[in-house]
Structure 1
């Protein structure tokens, strides 16, 4: 395939990072923009020197353009199901910012549309290209801490009016929950590092900041298919800088963020080994490793290979989020199988 034409849907904050990364790759060219407000798309084109880009008044018109082979969905989360299904039906490859869907039924419809169209997808769990994530995954693959029996990942981020997305992020009809809005990064990390699927969860939540239309703090516990257990929490009310806590306890050692204790792996170890690296410690999208994500998306399109974070995989993370939200709401344990049955996926 020659240079891949990219259409950007939604030209807000995160769209700028997508455009920057596409501009670094010779095999990609941003050829089209669409935003609900045309003037916003025009300003984005000017900001990034997109002099020959087409600006569309409707999403449908953009994906009908034969010059667009792939789209980045940078719109609010509640728009993603419809946009994904339409793009798949138009034969476009799709990079979907999270969350991909706010309910199981919509998720299932998306998965089936993508499978039928046989298009490639990548979901925006961009931290897979964070250097600390990459180091931890390498340690897990090399069995440095052995088999994980307990895992804990937290997403703590005070998202208030200082953030661009706050005006819509606080609304339930758009963002749905603290997990689906952002805490899903922690669920994705748990699945990624443990290497097992979550089977059952229990959770509690509360609301501290009533500007939000949903509970802004949640804590949950989980069981994995192999018997491992775990915990996660997500908070928009934390009174501290952004934190993404990672604790992995294995039968040969322990990882705490960028520190590791593994006496078999590090012969003669007498203290924690601390790895100087780039940590996932900022909510600013400019800090996120979009270059790696975009390069991966391009590679999947060119080679025909499926992504390890395609829509089918991300559906498993979202199912856990739905289950935790339901557990907190209904005060009972919820199995992931219950969510899969509603979504019509397995």
Structure 2
């Protein structure tokens, strides 16, 4: 049976779930954990009972011949440089979102992965949520007909309780924006359902929080290349439980979060029906389907196909985020693809 050696860098909150996912896949073998603080890597190794090396720098991970996949869970501002180095070394890459801080980095990451010919998977974990999988099947199967409106919003109170505060996730230097820190999850789903985007217009505000350097609340209106409309929003200063809001309207049906209506599939339907599946209703990484993300990567490697959240797909989601940021900054409509 084919197996792949895995090295994980940046052993924090989310890395633990990445590691557990690899441990559940028979094709994956954790060879090393590395972190800027070696003690955190050692503690995670001990906690999970792993037999692997413990390292304190990224280059040591890259230089190991027994590692085929580098999984990057470090702070946001390090992702691009580390992903490029991994690809140039011939390693397949798993990159936590965001993969960049700006358009120049985004293009550089894409180009390095394409040039090296390695596989890529980006941590847009919502793609593998059971509710989202059901929606994808419904859309692809024609249950909603031709879509004309897609809305996905990410509302999650984020503050000093999150470990990201320790490396400046709330700052422009290392965050760098609400869309790239986590609003990108909603943006990625909007793109997944709606397709390529032609233009974006967005507003950003400071609602009531004073501990962010960038606007922690925004709304963006999107025009897709197909002509349909979209909307995506995000707020980190909402005083309520986690919400991922999803509204989809098509020529033959609609979705309103956990509810759906489609006479195409259920001719006798008179009221909303409800999806009986795990919803996107928690920001806790223990709730997220990392196992399915790793399983998809393993299958992509074995069968020589692109992973679901590959660099080409996720480039487009990141580009939409950057367009949102540019529109907030300039107050203008921003057309895609972006130029410098």
Query: What TM-score range do you get, normalising by the shorter chain?
Result: over 0.9
Q: Which runs of 5+ in 2 are unaligned?
A: none
- The residue aligned with 1:258 is 258
1:73-88 to structure 2, matched below 5 A, reads: 73-88=72-87
Give 1:41 shift.
1.1
- The residue aligned with 1:297 is 297
TM-score calculated relative to the size of structure 2: 0.97
- The residue aligned with 2:176 is 176
Q: CA offsets per residue over residues 77-134 of structure 1, 9 Å max, x none?
A: 1101110111001110001110000100011111111111000001111111101001
**How many angstroms apart in 2 are the aligned matches of 1:47 and 1:172?**
34
1:33–1:55 Cα contact (<8 Å) kept = yes
Give 1:40 shift.
1.2
**How many angstroms apart in 1 are the aligned matches of 2:205 and 2:53?**
45
- The residue aligned with 1:320 is 320
Question: What is the CA RMSD across the aligned residues, in angstroms?
Answer: 1.1
- The residue aligned with 2:213 is 213
Give 1:267 shift.
1.2
SS in 2 for 1:169: coil
1:248 aligns with 2:248: yes
Q: CA offsets per residue over residues 127-154 of structure 1, 9 Å max, x none?
A: 1110100111111011111111111110
1:100 aligns with 2:95: no
SS in 2 for 1:82: helix
1:123-138 to structure 2, matched below 5 A, reads: 123-138=122-137
2:98–2:181 Cα contact (<8 Å) kept = yes
1:119 aligns with 2:118: yes
**How many angstroms apart in 1 are the aligned matches of 2:250 and 2:190?**
14
2:158–2:236 Cα contact (<8 Å) kept = yes
1:137–1:193 Cα contact (<8 Å) kept = yes
- The residue aligned with 2:139 is 140
1:93–1:301 Cα contact (<8 Å) kept = no
SS in 1 for 2:33: strand
- The residue aligned with 2:306 is 306
SS in 2 for 1:244: strand
SS in 1 for 2:300: helix
The alignment covers a number of residue pairs equal to 338
Q: CA offsets per residue over residues 9-37 of structure 1, 9 Å max, x none?
A: 10000010011111111111111111111
SS in 1 for 2:238: coil
2:222–2:230 Cα contact (<8 Å) kept = yes
- The residue aligned with 1:157 is 156
Q: CA offsets per residue over residues 145-167 of structure 1, 9 Å max, x none?
A: 11111111100000122223233
Give 1:313 shift.
1.2
SS in 1 for 2:260: strand
Q: Which runs of 5+ in 1 are unaligned?
A: none
